[in-house]
Structure 1
Amino acid sequence: MATNRSRRLRKKLCVDEFQELGFELNLEFKPDADLDAYVEAFLTEAIDGNGLDYVGAEDLGVVCLGKRGSVSPEQRAQVEAWLKARTDLAKVEVGPMIDVWYPENPINPSAA
């Protein structure tokens, strides 16, 4: 179905040039990991410290920008570096950039 939406509606729906990008995280903890301390440090240092937001559980979730817009490649790299420096994680998988509102949609070159 072809859609011819106004700029206002495209912005409201976060589509086309207003697409918002983020990335997925998949983590595995070591058996002796202190989850409470990890979550507190993760949210304070890696997420809030980079102006980001996190939706999900301790081990699986999506990182997006804390306001309208997309996560930058630099912010993604900073979160990945922070996670890989942790000694309480056995496995760290940082996914590619995705549309956080419509994950099944391909990335629009004008949004990247």
Structure 2
Amino acid sequence: MATNRSRRLRKKLCVDEFQELGFELNLGFKEDLSDEAIDAFLDAFLVDAMDAHGLDYVGGEDFGLVCLAKRGSVNEEQRAIVEGWLKGRSELTSVEVSPLMDAWHPETPIKSVV
């Protein structure tokens, strides 16, 4: 791909100075948890951990990506809040939260902020 892109194209592609960060979640639920309990957990997760902090979740009940609900990047503080919320839940047996990563191009390294 071309490396000499216009500012407008870089913005549309969410690259370089327009890179947007998010993180992945991997959740393990207790074996004996009912479907209703999982639905209640997901409802609480979306309201208390996502909406309350301006975040959005894309994925299924056990794996997904967390990103900002508007254009921009998730920061380490938001990542830590979500991780803490998840680790405090009794419905889960395991919680894996990835480091911050490029939400649009996961294979691309994170650009350092100068």
TM-score after normalising by structure 1: 0.95
Whole-angstrom distance in 2 between the partners of 1:82 and 1:50 = 12
- 1:32/1:88 contact within 8 Å kept: no
In the other structure, the counterpart of 1:109 is 112
Taking only aligned residues, the RMSD between alpha carbons, in angstroms, comes to 1.2
Alignment map for 1:1-112 (pairs within 5 Å): 1-33=1-33, 34-110=37-113
CA positional deviation for 1:60: 0.2
1:42-63 Cα distance to aligned partner (Å, 9 max, x none): 0000011110000000100000
1:19-68 Cα distance to aligned partner (Å, 9 max, x none): 00000000000023310110100000001111000000010000000000
Task: In structure 1, list runs of 5 or more residues that go unmatched.
Answer: none
Whole-angstrom distance in 2 between the partners of 1:98 and 1:32 = 33
Number of corresponding residues: 111
Point out the more displaced range, 84-93 or 28-37: 28-37
Task: In structure 2, list runs of 5 or more residues that go unmatched.
Answer: none
* Secondary structure of residue in 2 paired with 1:25: strand
TM-score after normalising by structure 2: 0.93
The one-letter code matched in structure 1 to 2:17 is: E
The alignment-based identity, stated in percent, is 68
